């Protein structure tokens, strides 16, 4: 009974996500009902999975730890910002002291540092990230709400590309170990690792945009705009995943249970897909947590080159502008994403390898 429920929930959730990704890729409006269904299914899968694996206490413990981590990060970043030379309102021509005093009063920068800190932390606790210094009158939450979805969209497409390229490539390369297929795939993978994105991007733009005119070189408005940045962003992770998968598969192939499977007379294909693959995805999983968090919260360089209105821009420009609330806000969004991604990865470990006990 429990298994049947799981086999219903998991694929349903995966299908909904795929459907949403597909719809959004071809620039259709995703209906609210679908988002709601996805959310409910996601929570259901998470709760069901946690309970069935006896991980409830673990999840609670990790959540409490995460809150602590985020508080420490908020504090650390807050302190780092006060060490930064130069203030948010420094200009080429110094402002008159009265004007400066007024500005500082508006943003409460004239208050002692512990008052500022207390105001900030108590704001974060109720998800109020304050007002931007640079974009006057705009809340950090609004800026994040406007730019983060674009970054998530770009990130999710790139992640999908990285997985559907990387894992099969690694698998094929390991299955054909020491043949020309292996050399070719791994040669491509190591080139992918060695190629910086800011070199791939111009080449692709020159060929496919200016030369052939297939895709758009900039902005983020439809499938023709998505292709190039997704390829550029997905290449490196795909290459890393291919290398990780190959190494891991080569190790798992030598394990005793694979020999047993062979002795049982299973076909090579069945062994590879049923026994080897699942067991060798652990290193890929470890890599995916930080990767997903980093890619989803925006990659500055890609967004810069392709003029994509994502959050990566704010992650970097806020520091140059000394826009304290925006730096803190975007940093916290990243940390939250990382903490969540790592939690999901840790929970998935015990799915891929039931011998792993979470404590």
Partner 1 sequence: MSSTITLEQPFDSTKSKKSSNSLWADGWRRLKKNKVAVVSAWIIVVTCLVGGLAEWLAPHPFDEQYIEHILQPPGSQFLLGTDNLGRDLLSRLIYGARMSMAVGILTAIISLIFGTLYGSVSGWLGGRVDSLMMRFIDILYSIPTLVLLILMKVIFDSIVLFENPELRALTGILAALSVVGWVTLARVVRGQVLQVKQMAYVESARALGAKGMWIVIRHVFPNILGPIVVLLTFQIPSNILYESFLSFLGLGLQPPYSSWGVLANEGWKSLRTYPHLMIAPGVALFITMLAFNLFGDGLRDAFDPQMKGR
Which residues sit at the interface with partner 1, rule CB under 8 A? 69, 72-73, 76-77, 80-81, 83-86, 190-191, 193-196, 198-199, 202, 205-206, 210, 243-244, 246-247, 250, 290, 294, 297, 300-301, 304-305, 315-316, 319-320, 327, 330-331, 334-335, 338-339
| Alpha carbons 161 and 166: distance in angstroms, whole number | 8
Q: Which is nearer to partner 1, 8 or 203 (CB)?
A: 203
Please state, as a whole number, how many other Cβ atoms lie within 10 Å of the Cβ of residue 294: 17
Beta-bridge partner residues of 131: 139
Residue 301 C-beta: closest distance to partner 1, Å: 6
Shortest distance (Å) from residue 280 CB to partner 1:
12
* CB closer to partner 1 out of 50 and 304: 304
- For partner 1, give the closer residue by CB, 69 or 350: 69
Residue 291: partners with Cβ closer than 8 Å, 6 or more residues away: 159, 162, 237
Instruction: Decide: 280 and 252 in contact? Cβ < 8 Å.
Output: yes
Longest Cα–Cα distance in the chain: 86
Question: CB of residue 170 vs partner 1: minimum separation in angstroms?
Answer: 11
What is the closest distance, in whole angstroms, from the C-beta atom of residue 295 to partner 1 in the complex?
12
Q: Is the dihedral of CA 131, 134, 135, 136 positive or negative?
A: positive
Q: How far is the CB of 70 from partner 1 (least distance, A)?
A: 8
Of residues 53 and 66, the one with the C-beta less far from partner 1 = 66
Cβ proximity to partner 1: between 66 and 139 the closer is 66
Smaller CB distance to partner 1: residue 9 or 310? 310
* Cα 131 from Cα 328, distance rounded (Å): 11
Report d(CA 121, CA 105) in Å as an integer.
19
What the block records as the tokens of 279 is 């067991």
By beta-carbon proximity to partner 1, the closer residue of 65 and 270 is: 65
Residue 43 C-beta: closest distance to partner 1, Å = 24
Contact 352, 281 (CB under 8 A): yes
Any long-range contacts for 312-320 (C-beta under 8 Å, 24+ apart)? 312/151, 313/147, 314/143, 314/147, 318/134
Kindly list the distances between the CA atom of residue 83 and the CA atoms of 18, 78, 86, in Å, as whole numbers in the listed order.
45, 9, 9
Task: Give me the least distance between CB of 207 and partner 1, in Å please.
Answer: 11
DSSP state of 306: T
What's the min distance (Å) between Cβ of 194 and partner 1? Answer: 4
Q: Which is nearer to partner 1, 50 or 209 (CB)?
A: 209
The CA–CA distances, whole Å, from 165 to 169, 172, 219, 345 equal: 6, 11, 25, 20
């Amino acid at each position: 009974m429990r298994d049947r429920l799981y086999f219903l929930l998991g694929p349903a959730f995966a299908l909904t996500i795929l459907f949403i990704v597909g719809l959004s890729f071809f620039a259709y409006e995703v209906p609210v009902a679908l988002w709601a269904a996805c959310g409910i299914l996601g929570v259901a899968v998470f709760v069901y999975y946690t309970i069935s694996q006896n991980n409830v206490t673990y999840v609670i413990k990790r959540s409490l730890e995460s809150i602590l981590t985020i508080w420490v990060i908020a504090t650390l970043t807050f302190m780092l910002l006060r060490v930064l030379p130069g203030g948010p309102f420094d200009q080429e021509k110094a402002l008159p002291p009265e004007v400066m005093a007024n500005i500082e009063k508006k943003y409460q920068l004239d208050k002692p540092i512990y008052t500022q800190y207390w105001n900030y932390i108590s704001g974060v606790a109720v998800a109020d990230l304050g007002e931007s210094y640079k974009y006057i009158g705009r809340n950090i939450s609004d800026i994040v709400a406007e730019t983060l979805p674009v970054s998530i969209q770009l990130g999710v497409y790139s992640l999908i590309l990285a997985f559907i390229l990387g894992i099969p490539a690694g698998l094929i390369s390991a299955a054909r170990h020491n043949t020309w297929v292996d050399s070719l795939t791994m040669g491509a993978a190591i080139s992918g690792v060695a190629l910086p994105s800011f070199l791939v991007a111009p080449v692709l733009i020159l060929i496919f945009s200016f030369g052939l005119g297939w895709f758009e070189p900039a902005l983020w408005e439809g499938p023709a705009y998505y292709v190039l940045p997704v390829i550029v962003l997905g290449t490196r992770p795909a290459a890393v995943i291919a290398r990780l998968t190959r190494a891991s598969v080569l190790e798992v192939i030598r394990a005793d249970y694979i020999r047993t499977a062979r002795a049982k007379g299973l076909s090579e294909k069945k062994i590879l897909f049923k026994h080897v693959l699942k067991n060798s995805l652990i290193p890929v999983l470890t890599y995916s947590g930080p990767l997903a968090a980093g890619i989803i919260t925006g990659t500055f360089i890609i967004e810069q080159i392709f003029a994509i209105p994502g959050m990566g821009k704010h992650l970097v420009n806020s520091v140059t502008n000394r826009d304290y609330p925006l730096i803190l806000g975007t940093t916290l969004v990243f940390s939250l994403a990382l903490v969540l991604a790592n939690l999901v990865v840790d929970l998935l470990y015990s799915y891929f390898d039931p011998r792993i006990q979470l404590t």
